[in-house]
Structure 1
Amino acid sequence: MDRLAAVDEIMAAAFDPRYGEAWNSAQVLATLAMPGYQLRGAYLGDGAGQLAGFAIFRIIAGESELLLLAVHPRWRRSGVATALMNDWLSICSGELVTMACLEMREDNPARDLYRAFGFVEVALRKSYYRGNDGTMRNAVTMNKMVTAF
């Protein structure tokens, strides 16, 4: 299976369709074609194995934004998200990023993971996201100062 197909498979399994958070292949490819954007994967085994999760982020002008983090449901709670976060923040540190940020749906269970990595909530956007189910949901913006990681 090629890597884009593996990303699509994880996206379909990881994101509840009612929220409309999954990207399609065209969105992934268009994003990765822009300067500063990266997709990093967490693979089972020696790195040539099955893709268990991925992160898409950008690094621009000393700042980084996590755009998407997804772990296949069968590999949740196995350290995959933690490995992806460590990888992202390590890259940020190596690229001399001073601020890392992310935005998510307020009721996203990943909030605890981000807090565990030292991210703090800096803004709440009321009724920011409209899900595929038509429900409006708040967005939370979280930041973290990045130093030697």
Structure 2
Amino acid sequence: MLELHLVDDITTAEAIAQAEASCTPHPWSAAMYAESISGQDQVFAYNSASAQTIGYAVILQVLDEIQLQNIFISKPWQRQGYGRKLLQLLMELAAKQNCSRMLLEVRESNLAARELYLSCGFKETGLRKQYYRSDSGPRENAILMEASL
């Protein structure tokens, strides 16, 4: 059975950052994860029945809304439906916390993530021009998305 576990130990920030860096071109830094763990965000590890970590997610609740700050599935587990299941678990958790909607931003170029979000009930609601830094060239737009819970 797959489970979410709240991460509350700031010493895991480096390991989370390394896990994300191995599977995404634009990872968060360990400092960003440390700030999330020690701040108002909720950081979740997504574990298999054998307690192997499949991925992580960071959410922030503001009144009756949940902001999905970050989400990733580790490389060996990608393209097997775990991202969808993690997102669905987060949406269920948000609904249990009496939230009415989930919001997120995604890179315009991240077509796989955008398709996943759309298939899980999200709608594209806006655009933040030149929001994300780029390794080379101009900054990249962020697509704003939301789903009712």
Same-fold status (TM-score > 0.5): yes
* Number of positions where the alignment pairs a residue of Structure 1 with one of Structure 2: 138
| Displacement over 6 Å in runs of 4+ | none
Deviation at 1:5, TM superposition (A): 4.3
Q: Indicate yes or no: 2:114 matched with 1:111.
A: yes
| CA deviation string 1:93-138 (max 9, x = no partner) | 1000012100011111210110011000000122222212243211
Map of 1:10 onto structure 2: 19
Map of 1:101 onto structure 2: 103
Q: Indicate yes or no: 2:42 matched with 1:38.
A: yes
TM-score by length of 2: 0.84
Indicate if the aligned counterparts of 2:13 and 2:31 stay in contact, CA closer than 8 A: no
Aligned residues: percent identity?
Answer: 27
Give the alignment of 1:6-85 within 5 angstroms: 6-16=15-25, 21-35=26-40, 37-46=41-50, 48=51, 50-85=52-87
Q: Which amino acid aligns with 1:9?
A: Q
Instruction: Please give the root-mean-square deviation of Cα atoms over the aligned residues, in Å.
Output: 1.6
Map of 1:139 onto structure 2: 142
Inter-partner Cα distance in structure 2 for 1:4 and 1:34: 13
Indicate if the aligned counterparts of 1:10 and 1:70 stay in contact, CA closer than 8 A: no
Flag the structure with more relative contact order, 1 or 2, with Cα contacts below 8 A and sequence separation at least 6.
1
Match of 1:14, SS state, is coil
Indicate if the aligned counterparts of 1:63 and 1:100 stay in contact, CA closer than 8 A: yes
Distance 1:45 1:5, change over 3 A: farther
Q: Where does the alignment leave 5 or more consecutive residues of structure 2 unmatched?
A: 1-10
Q: Where does the alignment leave 5 or more consecutive residues of structure 1 unmatched?
A: none
| CA deviation string 1:26-74 (max 9, x = no partner) | 1111122222x1111222333x2x2111111111211101011111122
